Every structure is written in C-alpha cells, then in structure tokens.
C-alpha cells in the first residue's frame, strides 16, 4: 500500500521566510544546530504520519468542509526545546482561530487513526533543529505579522539527502 508522510500546516509567505532567514543568520552563531531551509519554514497544524491515499482523501474531504475565518499570525515569541533540539518562533497570544483550526484538524486526524501528540498544541515555526545544548536566546525584539487566509496539506518528501514539503492541496479561510 502506498503511503505518504503528511501534515496539515500553514505556509509562510516567501517574503516572511526570507526575513526570518536573514534574522536567524544574525541572531544565531553559524555552528548552532541545523537551520531549516527558507522554503520549509511553516507552522504545523496537525501531523498525520504515514497515511494511505485512501485515508488522505477522506481527511482532505473533511478539511474542505471547514468553515472558519482567517486570522493574523503575529510571531513575537521564541524558545528552545532542548529535548527535541528545536529552536522556534511562536506567538505570545496565539489567535483563537489558529487554535480552533488546529484542534479541529487534530481531532479529525485522531478519529482516523493518526495518533496525535499528548502534548498540548503549541503553535510554532521551527527555525533550527539539533540544538540540544542549552543556549541563550536572542532578545525578542521582533514582531513579524502575516495574514493567514488558507491552510494546506503537505507531503514531507525526502530526496537527494534533503527534506522538502510539497503542497498537495489548500483550502481558503473566510475573509
């Protein structure tokens, strides 16, 4: 049976991806962790794992029925989770619409056997991986914003030694 590694997420606009990469290069020494490629900077809503085409179709049909307003994403927080070795950007006050959307997608995924992390959802954009030693974070003197008017289903594709996120489908949020 053919499966793909899938997740629902929010793609960041390319201009914001470029700004984050430029900031990261100034804010962190070059030998800290593994930087995520600009085009891969995203916010995960629900990780699905290895999913068959059949289950993917069902989850896509359910995603298409979601009616929800768009929201503004403000990236004004940062942190380091030493155990997974992740440095991230996030929101001091995540918008309610973002939490509702993620909770809905996560519960739909769980109902179809895609096991969800027992940890509460903490919206974040992973900036660096493999950062396991403790480190001082740069001052939070940033406040990036973007309007989120759609969400997407991505396949995580590993080829030629790199992970790439391929958008399979996207759905609009209401204006």
Residue 18 interacts with ligand 3AM (CB under 6 A): yes or no: no
Cβ neighbourhood burial of 20 (10 Å; 0-12, 13-18, 19+)? buried
By CB under 6 A, tell whether 92 contacts ligand 3AM.
no
Give least dist CB 77 to ligand 3AM, A. 15
Judged on CB neighbours under 10 Å (0-12, 13-18, 19+), 62 is middle
* Residues 73, 145 contacting (CB under 8 angstroms): yes
132 lies in the site for ligand 3AM, by CB under 6 A: no
Name the minimum Å distance from CB 30 to ligand 3AM.
21
Out of 47, 51, 127, 148, point to the residue binding ligand 3AM (CB under 6 A): 47
| CB contact burial 102-126 (16+ within 10 A = b; e otherwise) | bebbbebbeeeebeeeeeebebbbb
18, 19, 44, 132: residue in contact with ligand 3AM (rule CB under 6 A): 44
DSSP classification of residue 113? T
Cβ 7 to ligand 3AM shortest distance, Å: 5
Query: Is residue 117 a contact point for ligand 3AM (CB under 6 A)?
Result: yes
Q: d(Cα 46, Cα 121) in Å, to the nearest integer?
A: 9
Could you list the active site residues? 42, 124
Q: Which residues bind ligand 3AM (CB under 6 A)?
A: 7, 44, 47, 117, 126, 156
């Amino acid at each position: 049976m053919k499966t793909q590694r899938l997740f629902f997420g929010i793609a960041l606009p390319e201009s914001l991806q470029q700004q984050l990469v430029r900031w990261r290069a100034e804010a962190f020494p070059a030998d800290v962790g593994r930087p995520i490629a600009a085009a891969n900077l995203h916010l995960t809503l629900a990780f699905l794992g290895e999913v068959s085409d059949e289950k993917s179709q069902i989850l896509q049909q359910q995603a298409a029925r979601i009616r929800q307003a768009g929201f503004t994403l403000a990236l004004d927080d940062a942190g380091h989770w030493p155990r997974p070795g992740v440095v991230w950007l996030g929101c001091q006050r995540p918008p309610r619409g973002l939490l509702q959307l993620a909770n809905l997608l996560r519960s739909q995924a769980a109902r179809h056997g895609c096991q969800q992390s027992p940890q509460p959802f903490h919206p974040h954009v992973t900036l660096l991986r493999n950062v396991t030693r403790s480190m001082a974070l740069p001052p939070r003197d940033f406040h990036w914003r973007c309007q989120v008017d759609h969400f997407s289903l991505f396949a995580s594709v590993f080829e030629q030694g790199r992970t790439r996120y391929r958008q399979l489908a996207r759905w609009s949020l209401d204006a």
